[in-house]
């Protein structure tokens, strides 16, 4: 993939993330959650700004060592992290859909705790955009971490009761097929992100 094509695809993902967070903000408004409106509005703005900044940083990279990720590898990591963030955002919107169906209103504590799930891939995105080996390692960890955490929470329930209704498993909650599919896609995406980062790490290790 050329850097120009990677930039275009990255911008499409950044725009998709912005739109998804606008939808999330709207769902929070419909669900009568003013804190949710503010938090997801700010989250969307933060993701778009960090996405733009990551692309800007990637263009400034000068590859000085064969042990540094190449420009193609940097863009690959940016794309994988943006994709994972979009999947997480869609998963989040599905929880809002569920909450509206149950008549549940998000608490400020739950909203703040839930924002944490975006951090691993946001950190990976920033590190990867600077061409750091730590960006490869962070991406390798963040994808499977999110996949495992989401599967644990939604299949087995929570260890720490901080997730509101989602302390209970999807089985206990009796969620619909849409939610099951979104959970499966989230898990698969996380595993694929980890595999892509592992492949890049392998390429760098053999140089």
What are the C-alpha distances in Å from 125 to residues 7, 108, 161, 163? 14, 27, 29, 26
The yes-or-no verdict on residue 63 having pLDDT over 90 is: no
Question: How many angstroms separate the CA atoms of 158 and 38, rounded?
Answer: 26
Structure token pair of residue 75 = 């863009």
Q: What are phi and psi of 132, to 5 degrees?
A: -90, 145
| pLDDT above 90: percentage of residues in the chain | 82
What angle do the packed helices 71-102 and 119-129 form, to 10 degrees? Answer: 160
Per the structure, the complete domain to which residue 196 belongs is given by: 3-205
- So what's the pLDDT on residue 67? 67
- So what's the pLDDT on residue 135? 94
- So what's the pLDDT on residue 65? 59
Question: How many angstroms separate the CA atoms of 121 and 146, rounded?
Answer: 9
pTM (whole model) above 0.85: yes
For the segment 77-104, what is each residue's pLDDT rounded down to a tens digit? Answer: 999 999 999 999 999 999 999 999 999 9
For the segment 112-134, what is each residue's pLDDT rounded down to a tens digit? Answer: 999 999 999 999 999 999 988 99
Count of structural domains within the chain: 1
């Amino acid at each position: 993939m050329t850097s120009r094509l990677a930039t275009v695809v990255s911008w499409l993902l950044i725009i998709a993330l912005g739109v998804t967070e606008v939808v999330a903000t709207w769902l929070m408004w419909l669900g009568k959650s003013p804190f949710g409106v503010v938090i997801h509005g700010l989250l969307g703005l933060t993701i778009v700004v960090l996405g733009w900044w990551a692309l800007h940083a990637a263009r400034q990279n000068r590859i000085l060592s064969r042990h540094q990720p190449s420009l193609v590898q940097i863009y690959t990591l940016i794309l994988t992290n943006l994709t994972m963030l979009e999947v997480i955002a869609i998963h989040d919107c599905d929880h809002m859909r569920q909450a509206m169906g149950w008549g549940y209103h998000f608490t400020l504590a739950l909203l703040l705790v839930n924002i944490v799930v975006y951090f691993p891939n946001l950190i990976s995105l920033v590190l990867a955009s600077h061409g750091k080996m730590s960006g490869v390692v962070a991406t390798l960890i963040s994808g499977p971490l999110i996949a495992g955490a989401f599967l644990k929470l939604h299949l087995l329930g929570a260890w720490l009761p901080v997730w509101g209704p989602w302390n209970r498993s999807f089985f206990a909650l009796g969620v619909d097929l849409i939610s099951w599919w979104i959970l499966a896609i989230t898990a698969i995406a996380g595993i694929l992100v980890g595999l892509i980062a592992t492949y890049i790490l392998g390429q760098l290790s053999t140089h």
